Amino acid sequence: MKIEHSTNDEKAFGCETCPMRLKAEANPKSFRARLWRWHTRWCPGWKAYQAHLATQTADQ
């Protein structure tokens, strides 16, 4: 199990640098992009990442 430690209090999310996500965003009409969108419907990590982004924009 890989544990990521951060020097500050920010949580690191794999979604930020996920190769599958980056390729899906580069070509939104591809099968990979459809698979990515399906995955985000139920992925708890993606939902936590989106909640984190929402709190960051609300704080600004």
Confidence of residue 11 (pLDDT cuts 50, 70, 90): confident
The H or E element spanning position 52 is: helix 44-59
**In the predicted model, is pLDDT for residue 1 greater than 80?**
no
**In the predicted model, is pLDDT for residue 7 greater than 90?**
no
- CA-to-CA dists, residue 10 to 5, 44, 57, angstroms: 9, 18, 14
* 3-class secondary structure, 23: helix
**In the predicted model, is pLDDT for residue 12 greater than 80?**
yes
Give the tens place of pLDDT for each residue, 15-55.
989 999 999 999 999 999 999 999 999 999 999 999 999 99
d(CA 60, CA 11): 18
- Asked whether the whole model's pTM tops 0.95, one would answer no
